[in-house]
Structure 1
Amino acid sequence: MELSDWIWQDRLWFPAGLGWANLKDRDGQVFAKGRDLWVIFPIAVCFLIIRQIFERTVAVQLASLLRVREKPRVRAAPNTTLESYFCNASKFPSQSSVEELTKQSACSVRQVQRWFRRRRNQERPSQIKKFREACWRFTFYLLAFIAGLGALIDKPWFYDMEEMWNGFPTLPLLPSQYWYYMIELGFYISLLFSVATDVKRKDFKEQIVHHVATILLISFSWLVNYIRAGTLIMLVHDASDYLLESAKMFNYAGWRKTCNYIFILFAAVFILTRLVILPFWIIHTTWVYPLTLYPPFFGFYFFNGLLFVLQCLHIFWAGLILRMAIKFLPGNVRILNLITIGRFPGQRLNNLLIILLVKCFLVLNSHVKNSNNLVMTECI
């Protein structure tokens, strides 16, 4: 058996008795195919081109309308010795390095420290650049959420999530599902292509893991026809992202109160969609309910494993988001102090969220065991 045949054998990706043969087009019904995914790469390139045009036209005009202003920066004076150290050694020299540089550059310690501070400020992205990027993401996420909602609002599995398994895996592909998948995948691929030139975020590594896990999850759900679950997952993700990007836009424009109100709304929607709806409705329906229909198989574990990677990232981000949201609420000083020193009732905020995840895991695991027993009983 060749390696490709072994990787794609039916028993790994489908329940017993089902396989790739069930996904062949027939009777006028079209099913998702792996070769369809090649189109996401030209779509990603198109997104990169559209983004450049959008950021240089629409985003710039909107920045001007909202009066986004660039703070004046004092440039570091030309200095070959300090520039060489900055580019080749470190942007944050230690005290001993500063003292050594004072001898080489004929500058005082204070002058060297000031030079490095100004030089680092020159490297920081401008407010306009950050606004343009946020404006582009806001536009896409808002349109994607509206389009996704329009594609799902009349579907039975939008209201009863167990319907996503009705007839699996022979679920015909709808045109709206095809374009929703291809556009979302193309956009996430374009984000990976542009990561080197985008403003680097503090959670850069987590963001990369999120993008990769999302691409794998969406692609895999397409290959094995988990499309109904995939569309719900994408909609849940898009539901809050546009609020975050709009809050960033108003922050860069100096509209602090508007930014604060939108961010609090974003925090509420984020927690509702990603810490309530996703784990207790969608993941429950992809992890627990299928075991009442089929014995577990590798594809089942792989799909839900990717979902749990995303859920761990959501919990990590929820801790950061809640800390920021609390700053905008009355009595925030005392609450923030309690969080900072670890005296928040029970545990630190992040620990509370981690404990919540563990409890969710234990509850779902008990359901899985019960479902396994039910499946084994039926098989016997």
Structure 2
Amino acid sequence: MEALLNEWLWQEESWLPPGISWQDIEMKEDEGRFPLPRDLIYTFPLAFTFIALRYVFERLIAVPFSKHLGVKDRIRIRAASVPKLETFYKQKSRQPSQIEVVSLGKQCGISQRNIQTWFRHRRNQDRPSNSRKFCEASWRFAFYIASFTAGLGSLINTPWFWDHRECWRGYPKQPVAEAHYWYYILEMGFYLSLLLCVSVDVKRKDFKEQVIHHIATIFLIGFSYCANYVRVGTLVMLVHDSSDFFLESAKMFHYAGWTRTCDSLFVIFSLVFLVTRLVVFPGRVVHTTLVVSLEFFQPFFGYYFFNALLLVLQALHIFWAYLILRMLYKFVFLGKVERDERSDEESEVDDEEPEEDGDECSWEQRKGTINSKLASLANNCVLNNLTNQRNINSRLPKAR
């Protein structure tokens, strides 16, 4: 197996510039750590550790904090237990067609209107609560702000942070500092945990883009580590972490109902995102990998593959920038951020479907409210008529 891997997977032409062999980049213990593919094995148990840590974090920190901020969950009516409808809902469709509604009504002996109401209640029942979305956002916020702070602290004094040509000087024989090694391992472990949890997390409109982003990020981190693109890879991770914690904090305050704080954080996030993802990332990071790197070595497979992954990320940046600009347009011209363009609702249905029976009151209570409003309206009409009649009578003597 080792011989097969060495022959096919670890070919020098794929991982190293022309004219350089694996023997040329071997390092002694006193020269520092050289990145090896086997180091990435630790990211798999680390991903499960992140999942367990997230579970503890949400129960012990996020849930009490959400209550402290005043996060309230909408009360939803639970759909009645109808086995045939439940089977159809889980196995076939959550939104049956009119023909299917008629067929289900005949099978269950229920009217079509009640069938449609049952499916509406059942869909709303599966929608994530504000508390759940708050916990998810707070977990990501905690990691992103910790990762950005640690990453900035480890890179601020490095020469390649200020001069991007230093990313390639001496490549590929470049030792990796212990801090940058752990920066890589923790980032890859975290994104692996996100990919493992993507099926149970809150689904959004950009669900497919999120999956592509996680996969591209994992491949980017793993390949850049194996090919010793660690210097430029740390810059890529730092650029991405710089705006993410602003977005997650804005979501947290949105779920808590702190509208002004949410709007302010969203504006800050938008500015940071647009600058870092549409200016800094393509103008500095992608430019140094596409153009500056050619001053130090000839292109090879790793060069093309690494840059292809960066361009995939840049395409996703443009997609999300479009959504953010739409939200900024609404904020400027409508005066507030009405909703997340990515949608915290599930991707199948955009808006919260109205509960026909109400959230906190029954139909009888709602009917009583309507009757009282109608009675009030009728009284107002009678009072207006009496007032008009009185005014007419008061003017009659003068007219005579």
- Shorter-chain TM-score bucket reads 0.7 to 0.9
1:210 Cα deviation after fit: 0.6
Asked if structure 2 preserves the Cα contact closer than 8 Å seen for 1:244 and 1:263, the reply is yes
Asked if structure 2 preserves the Cα contact closer than 8 Å seen for 1:221 and 1:303, the reply is yes
In structure 2, give the amino acid aligned to 1:23. I
Compared CA separation, residues 304 and 256, structure 1 to 2 (3 A): same
Out of 155, 163, 168, the residue aligned to residue 165 of structure 1 is: 168
- 1:21 partnered with 2:10: no
Compared CA separation, residues 331 and 248, structure 1 to 2 (3 A): closer
- CA shift digits 1:291-314 (9 cap, x unpaired): 222221111001101111111111
Asked if structure 2 preserves the Cα contact closer than 8 Å seen for 1:22 and 1:169, the reply is no
- CA shift digits 1:275-325 (9 cap, x unpaired): 111111000000111222222111100110111111111111111111122
Question: What is the SS of the residue equivalent to 2:70?
Answer: coil
Asked if structure 1 preserves the Cα contact closer than 8 Å seen for 2:169 and 2:296, the reply is no
1:10 Cα deviation after fit: 1.5
Distance 1:332 1:248 in 2: 18
1:256 Cα deviation after fit: 1.8
Out of 63, 67, 73, the residue aligned to residue 64 of structure 1 is: 67
1:259 Cα deviation after fit: 1.3
- 1:86 partnered with 2:51: no
Q: Which residue of 1 aligns with 2:311?
A: 308
Distance 1:47 1:225 in 2: 25
Q: Within 5 Å, give how 1:24-173 maps onto structure 2.
A: 24-26=26-28, 28-29=30-31, 30-173=33-176
Question: What is the SS of the residue equivalent to 1:197?
Answer: coil
- CA shift digits 1:325-371 (9 cap, x unpaired): 221114679xxxxxxxxxxxxxxxxxxxxxxxxxxxxxxxxxxxxxx
Identity rate, percent: 52
In structure 1, give the amino acid aligned to 2:329. I
Distance 1:25 1:150 in 2: 26
In structure 2, give the amino acid aligned to 1:38. I
Compared CA separation, residues 64 and 3, structure 1 to 2 (3 A): closer
Distance 2:218 2:90 in 1: 35
Q: Which residue of 1 aligns with 2:256?
A: 253
Question: Which consecutive residues of structure 1, in runs of 5 or more, have no partner in the other structure?
Answer: 334-380
1:19 Cα deviation after fit: 2.8
Q: Within 5 Å, give how 1:345-364 maps onto structure 2.
A: none
Distance 1:4 1:149 in 2: 36
Asked if structure 2 preserves the Cα contact closer than 8 Å seen for 1:326 and 1:332, the reply is no
Distance 2:208 2:334 in 1: 33
- Residues 188-197 or 51-60, more deviating: 188-197
Distance 1:145 1:89 in 2: 44
In structure 2, give the amino acid aligned to 1:5. E
Query: How many residue pairs were aligned?
Result: 333
Distance 1:49 1:92 in 2: 35
Q: Which has the higher contact order (CA 8 A, sep 6+)?
A: 2
Q: What TM-score does the superposition give when structure 2 sets the normalisation length? A: 0.80
Q: Which residue of 1 aligns with 2:187?
A: 184
Distance 1:293 1:131 in 2: 47
- CA shift digits 1:45-75 (9 cap, x unpaired): 2211111110001001110110111111011
In structure 2, give the amino acid aligned to 1:241. D
1:91 Cα deviation after fit: 0.7
Distance 2:258 2:205 in 1: 23
The alignment's C-alpha RMSD in Å is 1.7
Question: Which consecutive residues of structure 2, in runs of 5 or more, have no partner in the other structure?
Answer: 337-400
Asked if structure 2 preserves the Cα contact closer than 8 Å seen for 1:142 and 1:242, the reply is yes
Q: Which residue of 1 aligns with 2:376?
A: none
Q: Which residue of 1 aligns with 2:373?
A: none
Distance 1:46 1:20 in 2: 33
Asked if structure 2 preserves the Cα contact closer than 8 Å seen for 1:37 and 1:182, the reply is yes
